[in-house]
Structure 1
Amino acid sequence: MADTSTSLDSRRRFLAQLSLGAALAAVAGAAAALPQSEPDPMKTTDSAKLGYAIVGLGKFATQQIMPNFKDCQHARITALVSGSPEKARKLAREYGVAEKSVYSYENFDSIKDNPEVDIVYIILPNGLHAEYTIRAARAGKHVLCEKPMATSVEDCQKMIDACNKAGKKLMIAYRAHYEPFNLDAVERIRKGELGKLRAITSDHGRPVKPTEEKADVWRVDKKLAGGGSLMDIGIYALNAARYLTGEEPEEVTAQEFSDKSDPRFKEVEDNIHFTLRFPSGVLASCTSSYSYAEVKRGRAFGDKAWLDLDPLSDYYEHNLKIGDKEGKREPKLQEGNQFAAQLDHLAECVRDNKTPKTPGEEGLKDVRYIMAIYEAARKGKAVKV
């Protein structure tokens, strides 16, 4: 992650090259599902909804985040921030955003004078999260920031401190905390449906193609990404192990392998396998990769039954299976809009002055564990956390 000293020239070159491919997106404690309540006429009018400024108009922002505002009861888009004026103006017309509320990265700080903006959603490469979170807080705005929160523990703390100093909320976009299938899995584990939890496995992989996908260029740049597959998609496995167990790991081990003859992995890692040991004795075995076929799954094993989420962290079409000595079954669950639920949750927290379910401290924990995993892989031995 770039800190506040990131040069304007380098940022301009980066934004021009990529048109800001969005950071993707991989839940401490069992977060209760955000209910899709009946619309409240007093809260569903545009004037009653809190305004979001979308910072970064890459693929994830334009194809996933922005379209899902249509299902929000408490949030709407009121500003856009982009390095591409033409693209921003086109999207502004599509989403009914006033031209005066279209910003560049150079004049971003003037967003402080826009009363239509309550929350800034930062959907930038990891290396820019800290800078824009801090600038948003100084502009007097609440912040929703994509994960990983930052590329260092120090930057995470700076983000938390900046928002605290400004008296503003900071929430990290862990959308799985608001996704019905994941939340149902957590509830079943807590109720003891699997018996005593013994182990967890989770695998997340996607092949990066920086020569074909603009959104993948920054992912293989260490300064902008902070790391490779672990930072980008392994974080889903890491976070899932924490929210499925409801515990914090006390020790990590890891192994990493990257083919350095492959130009994609000259700066960042490809394959990494890490294990988390929890206080209850649960072992979580997790993998992330930038070279094997796309997978986003997780499984929890108890002494009575197992539970499978495949996919665990996809955008849509989730699936949950449970197996025991009686056989396998698929509970009938209704797909929910995790994006809208997440956006509405922060809006309600701002309106009601409540702490978000996934605050900055949640993001800090994952980054701290990620750094411990990297250390364990380098040293070839277990690292206490």
Structure 2
Amino acid sequence: MHSLTRRTFTKSAVVASASFALKGFSQTVSSQRQVGIAPIGLGSIAEVFMRALSKSRNAKLTGLVTGHPVEKGKKFAAMYGVADSSIYTYETFDNIRNNHDIDAVYVALPNSMHCEYTIRAAEAGKHVFCEKPMAISSNECKRMIDACRHAGVKLMIGYRLHHEPVFLKLHELVRSGALGEILQFQAGFYGMKNKQEWRLNRALAGGGSMFDLGVYALNTIRWFAGEEPVDFRTLVATRDKTGKFDSVEETVNCLLRFPSGILAECGSSYGQSGTNYFQINGTTGHVRVEPAFSYGDSILKYEGKTESGDLAGSGAVYDPDQFVTEVTHFANSILQNTEPATPGEEGMKDLLSIEEIYKAAGSLQA
């Protein structure tokens, strides 16, 4: 890689961001039509997704699936110009097979429902964009992959950082060898107080902070390592004694070892007042991103050092811009019949690791 300085790296990151965006837009301009997408579940993340769809040039909102067709369904239908006939409930969901304006669905349900509705959507002939974590077990992930493959539809998992320009630039930096051989990753997502009760129910969520927040850290580590962990050490703690963490863990810290010898520390917590970060340590350089995994009005900030000198910069992450890039990629994969960057297999690999992390803990409670 060419010599990097604080100024040149920041400039190249901006250029990379612009070229990435332009590439996506040039692809959408050439598209003959927009991909029609219906979110399943109209909670807070689906609201962000719908705002992103309204900004997309190759996708649009064409249906809604909700347990509250009057209160939520009609509200969002009026807001985004969706026909009342394209509002479905969970009971009438399978009828979307007859709606040719809906090409795909966005699964934004509690984790335990991802598998069922991905399979039902595939059987209805619809492509699937499923939020992370993909499911609550690797076995469910396999069923989802098999169903979509059998139906000939796309399956993409919502790892938005794989489409975020700052992370793409840092991934390129690591691959270039500018940090030398990678020795260690450190990542954690702490301090987001739980707001949705279903996330504290293991039957619905699959687990606690690891499934909700730790999956960001785990997936980013796996992505940057380019290999799968083979050894796991885990500690779990629940300091809150009110009983709300009776079925899921509050805090998890784990140590991973990869075949190459890379070590990684990965943590998450619902209870801590903290931050979220991603640290890369190499033999000739290091980089830290903080905050790293949040979205909304957060500003991604990175700083570090390579053999060539210091580097630093930032990237504005405004809700829902990360999601616009993500949904644009998903729609392009449908329009151009290409494999999404984060297919179902990527989601299943996270679940395989999470299962090993919990196994190493011996118990979800401490």
TM-score per shorter chain, which class? Answer: 0.7 to 0.9
Structure 2 match to 1:374: 358
Structure 1 match to 2:88: 103
Kindly indicate whether residue 341 of structure 2 is the aligned counterpart of residue 357 of structure 1: yes
Structure 2 match to 1:267: 247
State the Cα distance separating 1:205 from its structure 2 match.
1.6
Aligned-partner SS, 1:292: coil
State the Cα distance separating 1:240 from its structure 2 match.
1.0
Q: How far apart, in 2, do the equivalents of 1:253 and 1:57 lie?
A: 37
Residue pairs, 1:201-240, within 5 angstroms: 201-209=186-194, 215-240=195-220
1:345 to 329, 332, 346: 329
Q: How far apart, in 1, do the equivalents of 2:177 and 2:23 lie?
A: 31
Structure 2 match to 1:29: none
5+ residue gaps, structure 1, are 1-31, 210-214, 381-385
Q: How far apart, in 2, do the equivalents of 1:237 and 1:43 lie?
A: 31
Count of residues in Structure 1 that have an aligned counterpart in Structure 2: 343
Change (3 A) 1:101 1:370: same
Structure 2 match to 1:283: 263
Q: How far apart, in 2, do the equivalents of 1:78 and 1:47 lie?
A: 17
Structure 2 match to 1:79: 63
Is residue 28–residue 332 contact of structure 2 (8 Å, CA) maintained in 1? no
Change (3 A) 1:119 1:364: same
Structure 2 match to 1:330: 312
Is residue 301–residue 314 contact of structure 2 (8 Å, CA) maintained in 1? no
Q: How far apart, in 2, do the equivalents of 1:205 and 1:70 lie?
A: 31
Structure 2 match to 1:128: 113
Q: What TM-score, normalized to structure 1?
A: 0.83
1:188 to 167, 173, 176: 173
Which deviates further from its counterpart, 354-363 or 312-321? 312-321
Structure 1 match to 2:184: 199
State the Cα distance separating 1:70 from its structure 2 match.
3.0
Structure 1 match to 2:7: none
Aligned-partner SS, 1:224: helix
Give percent identity, aligned residues only: 40
State the Cα distance separating 1:111 from its structure 2 match.
0.6
Is residue 141–residue 347 contact of structure 2 (8 Å, CA) maintained in 1? yes
Is residue 256–residue 377 contact of structure 1 (8 Å, CA) maintained in 2? yes
Which deviates further from its counterpart, 320-329 or 277-286? 320-329
State the Cα distance separating 1:247 from its structure 2 match.
1.8
Structure 2 match to 1:61: 46
Is residue 34–residue 345 contact of structure 1 (8 Å, CA) maintained in 2? no
Q: How far apart, in 2, do the equivalents of 1:103 and 1:365 lie?
A: 32
Q: How far apart, in 1, do the equivalents of 2:305 and 2:27 lie?
A: 45
Letter in 1 for 2:347: G
Is residue 299–residue 314 contact of structure 2 (8 Å, CA) maintained in 1? no
Aligned-partner SS, 2:252: strand
- Could you say what the CA RMSD is over the residues aligned between the two structures, in angstroms? 2.5
Structure 1 match to 2:13: none
State the Cα distance separating 1:208 from its structure 2 match.
3.2
Aligned-partner SS, 2:134: coil
